[in-house]
Amino acid sequence: MDIQEWLYSDVVKDHFMNPKNVLMEDESAWPCDGRGIVGNIKCGDQMLILIRVKDDRITDCRWKTYGCASAIASTSILSEAIKGMPLDEAYRLKPQDIVARLGGLPENKIHCSVLGDKALRAAIDDYLAKNNKPSLAGTEEVEVICTCLNVTDKDLEEAYKDGARTWEDLQSRTKIGSACGGCKNRAMEKMHELEHLYGE
């Protein structure tokens, strides 16, 4: 393996060594309008995001992350990026947006950035539900994993929740890869990400 694949950008290093907007006190000491928590400590990553909202814009954010340097840096930069952002725009943020802001991540660490956008969506969902506002669920972008059969990352997530863990499980539940099979590597990467999100 090339050593360059393990190197972090200066932006990642800065956000790891000097994280922004970390929740330093007890959660109840920082009143918020929305709360989202995702991940599983048993798998190594868990993120809590708290947001304050005014006029359908995020005005402030605090967070805690249990995880590696990539997880901490990605949550830190996300917390900076979303301040002042309209809720609907924040809801559509993708892991790739976070990775781009960090100046990239080693390929084997990209799954660590996935939790930030999901924790943020959970916090926005919480805010909308508490205030009897329409849900934004379904407005987030999906990634088509299998172009032959139009199987998306959301389909894989549902399959994972239903117990799929192997390629054969996925094929049984979604028919993914039954045409050309070129999607197997990406599908299994997504399954690894889901393992970090939901754990066992």
Residues recognised as catalytic? 43, 112
- Please report, in angstroms and rounded to a whole number, the separation of the first and last CA atoms in the chain: 29
Give the DSSP letter string of 104-166. Answer: ---GGGTHHHHHHHHHHHHHHHHHHHHTTPPP-TT-S---EEETTTTEEHHHHHHHHHTT--S
In whole angstroms, give the CA distance from residue 9 to residue 4: 10
DSSP annotation of 67 reads S
Identity (one letter) of the amino acid at 88? D
40: which strand partners?
Answer: 45
- The amino acid present at 168, given as its one-letter code, is E
Where does residue 199 rank: exposed (0-12), middle (13-18), buried (19+ CB within 10 A)? middle
How many residues can be counted in the chain? Answer: 200
- For residue 129, what are its two tokens? 């539900």
